[in-house]
Structure 1
Amino acid sequence: MNRTVAVVSTGAIGASWAAHFLAEGWAVRAVDPAPGAEAALRAQIEECRPALRALGRPHADGGGTLVWCDSIADAVAGAQLVQENGPERVDVKRAIFAEIGAAAADDAVLASSSSGIRASDFQAAAGDRQARVLIGHPFNPPHLIPLVEVVGGAATDPDAVADALALYTAAGKRPVRLHRELPGHVVNRLQAALWREAYALVDSGAISVRDLDAAMEAGPGLRWALEGPFMTQHLSGGPGGIAHILEHLGPPTAEWWRDLSSVGELSEHMVAAIVDGMDDEVAGRDVAAIRARRDELLVALLRLKSEGPRP
C-alpha cells in the first residue's frame, strides 16, 4: 500500500492530521499558502509528539517523512490519499479541489475534512477526478480521536469509499461509513441535538452551565466514552436488552421528546446566558491547563480501551 498522504491546508486540523500520519510512519506532503505556515506546522507536530508517544504510536519519535511543498500540484503528486482541510466554505472547497483534481493520481482518494459541507457541493470542481472525491471527516483533534466519518457525494465511485475506509484503517483510524449525505454528517448532528437542548435548558434557567457540564461529565459522558448510545441502552436492559428498554422506557421517552426544545436559532439572551455561564465556570482557572488535562485523560482512556480485543 502506498502510504503517502497530501495534507492540503495545515491549520489546527491539518497539522493534527499531519502529526497523526507521521506517527504512523506515513510520508506526508504538506501545503498551505499562509505566511509562516511551515514553521507553525512543524511546531504543532512537536507539540503533538508527547501524546502520540504516550499512545504508543509506532513512529511517534520519527519515521514518517514530512515534505513541505510550494503548490497543491506538488503536494498531491504521488499521494494515495489527499486530505483537504481548508476553510468551511463551498467556494473555497471548489477552488482547492479544482487544483487537486488537475494533479492527483487516477486512483488517489481525494478526501475533505469538512465538518458539514457535502461532497456533492464541490466535487464537480475536481473534473475527471470527481468520482474519487468524498468526505473524510475527523473528530477533533485527529491525532488523538480515532473516528473518521466517510461519505461519498452524488458522483463518488463506491470503490473510492472502499479505498478510503481501507486507507484510514491502515493509518490507525476507526472509520465509519455513512450511507447518505447529511448537513453536518452524523456525529456533528448528534452533538448539535445535545447542544440545542443544553443551551435551551440553561437559557430557561433550569440549570447552570457549570452544573450541566458536571452532570454530563459525571453521568452519561462516562458511559458514552465506552459504548455508543444503542449499546448503552442494550446493556441497561438486563437480559431483555434494548427490547426491554424500549418496551418499558419507550413511552416516557417519547413524552420527553415532545417536551424537548424546538429552538431553531441562538437568541441574544441565550448567547449571553451561555457565555456568562462559561465565564463563571472557568473563572480563576487556566484554560490551557484544562485542555492539557483533558488530553492527558483522553490518552489514558484510549490506552485502556486499546488493551486487548473488543469482546
Structure 2
Amino acid sequence: MADEAAAGDIEPETIERAAVVGCGVIGAAWASRMVLNGVDVAISDLSPDAERIFDEVLSNAVAAYDDLGFATDRRGSHRFASSIADAVTDAQFVQESVPERLDIKAAVFAEIEAGVVPDVLIGSSTSGLRPSAMQESMTHPERLVVGHPYNPVYLLPVVEVVGGEHTPIENVRRAQAIYAGIGMKPVHVRVEIDAFIGDRLLEAVWREALWMVNDGVATTQEIDDVMTHGFGLRWAQMGLFETYRVAGGLGGFRHFMSQFGPTLGLPWTKLMDTPEFTPELVDTIVEQSDAQSGMHSIRELERTRDRNLVGFLKVLESNEWGAGNTIAEHRRR
C-alpha cells in the first residue's frame, strides 16, 4: 500500500533524448508531444508515409499547443533514423508503437534491446496486450512497461502504465516519472489485465452502441448526440464515480447506490454478448457514419477535435479541476 500511496506524488523526470519506434497516428503523436516538450526524438518507421504522417500530426500538435499558450519555440529536434538500431543508440527512453501483434512486437523488441543499454526503459503503446506476454521473448524483460495513451497523445494527458510479471515497481515508477516529465498524467494499472482500464470501459459502451444500431434502436448520429450533449460533457470533468456521487444528492454516494444499485439486476445491457458482425451491419454503420461526418476530412475532424479539447482543458485549468490540474502543473514546470 505504501507504494500505491507514493504513486500519486510522482516527481517528474526530464529526459533529453528518446526514440519512437513506429510512426503511425499514435507514434507520430508521441513524437510530437516529446518534441514540443524539449526532447530530441529519433523516429524509426520504414513506411514511405511515415514522414508525411509525422509532419501532419506535428502541425496539429503545434496548433494545439499555441492555443493552450504553451511555448513551442524551445522544442526538441527530430530525425528519421535509418533503422531501429540507429534510432535507439543514444535514447534515454524508447516508446514502441508498432501493430498489435506479439510476433511483430517481439521482433521489434529484439532490435531495440540490441541497441540500448540494459537500464533504458521501453514503453509499449499497446492498447490491450499484457506486458507479461510481450516480455516472454525479451533478454531484459524487467525494463518493459506498457504506456498506453489516448489519441491525440500530444493533447490528452492520461497514460496507463502497466508492469508485467518481470517489471519491478521501481521501473514502473520511473516510467511514470518520465511520462510526467512530458506533461502527462500517469495512472498505474496495479493489476495486469487485458485492455487495462480505459479500453475496458470503452468496450462496454461500444458493445451497447453496436447492439442499438443492429437492433434499429438508434443511428450512429443519435448515439453520438446523446453522448456529446449529455453524459460526455459530465465525464470530461468528473468521470463516472464522482458524477454519480453528485447524482446521489445530499445523501451522497450511499444514497445513489441504494437507489440505483438494484437496477444492475435488470436486463438493460448486453455486455457479455455482441451482435454478429455481418456485412450488413458493417454497411449500415459505415453508411450512417458517412452521412454523419463524411463531409469532413480526417484532418479537419482532428483539428476540430483538438480545438474543442483545448477549450475544455482551458476551462478545467481555470477552475483547477480534473485534467486542467495536469495542464497547470506542466505549465508551472
Q: TM-score w.r.t. structure 1 length?
A: 0.91
Quote the offset at 1:28 in angstroms: 1.2
Quote the offset at 1:88 in angstroms: 1.3
Deviations 1:274-295 (A, max 9, x none): 2232233236555543432222
Residue number in structure 2 paired with 1:251: 262
Question: Distance between the aligned counterparts of 2:270 and 2:161, measured in 1?
Answer: 33
Is 1:212 the counterpart of 2:258? The answer is: no
Greater shift, 20-29 or 35-44, is seen at 35-44
Answer yes or no: is the 8 Å Cα contact 2:145–2:164 preserved in 1. yes
Question: Distance between the aligned counterparts of 1:49 and 1:147, measured in 2?
Answer: 19
Residue number in structure 2 paired with 1:18: 31
Is 1:110 the counterpart of 2:125? The answer is: no
Deviations 1:17-52 (A, max 9, x none): 111111111121222122353454345323421112
Unaligned runs of 5+ in 2: 1-13, 323-333
Matched residue type, 1:209? T
Structure 1 residues 90 and 105, CA gap change in structure 2 (3 angstroms):
same
Matched residue type, 1:293? T
Residue number in structure 2 paired with 1:276: 287
Greater shift, 285-294 or 29-38, is seen at 285-294
Aligned length: 309
Unaligned runs of 5+ in 1: none
Residue number in structure 1 paired with 2:100: 88
Greater shift, 33-42 or 48-57, is seen at 33-42
Matched residue type, 1:27? D
Answer yes or no: is the 8 Å Cα contact 1:124–1:130 preserved in 2. yes
Greater shift, 25-34 or 83-92, is seen at 25-34
Find the partner of 1:45 among 55, 58, 61: 58
Find the partner of 1:9 among 17, 22, 25: 22
Answer yes or no: is the 8 Å Cα contact 1:78–1:105 preserved in 2. no
Is 1:238 the counterpart of 2:249? The answer is: yes
Structure 1 residues 82 and 203, CA gap change in structure 2 (3 angstroms):
same
Question: Distance between the aligned counterparts of 2:110 and 2:245, measured in 1?
Answer: 46
Deviations 1:168-193 (A, max 9, x none): 11110111111122222221111111
Matched residue type, 1:18? A
Quote the offset at 1:79 in angstroms: 2.1
Structure 1 residues 53 and 26, CA gap change in structure 2 (3 angstroms):
same
Q: TM-score w.r.t. structure 2 length?
A: 0.85
Find the partner of 1:175 among 186, 195, 201: 186
Find the partner of 2:47 among 31, 34, 49: 34
Structure 1 residues 262 and 284, CA gap change in structure 2 (3 angstroms):
same
Structure 1 outlier segments of 4+, above 6 Å: none
Higher relative contact order (CA 8 A, sep 6+): 2
**Secondary structure of 1:218's partner?**
helix
Question: Distance between the aligned counterparts of 1:229 and 1:255, measured in 2?
Answer: 20
Structure 1 residues 4 and 252, CA gap change in structure 2 (3 angstroms):
same
Structure 1 residues 108 and 306, CA gap change in structure 2 (3 angstroms):
farther
Answer yes or no: is the 8 Å Cα contact 1:16–1:143 preserved in 2. yes
Deviations 1:262-306 (A, max 9, x none): 226423343233223223323655554343222211111112222
Question: Distance between the aligned counterparts of 1:165 and 1:196, measured in 2?
Answer: 31
What is the RMSD computed on CA atoms of the aligned residues?
Answer: 2.2
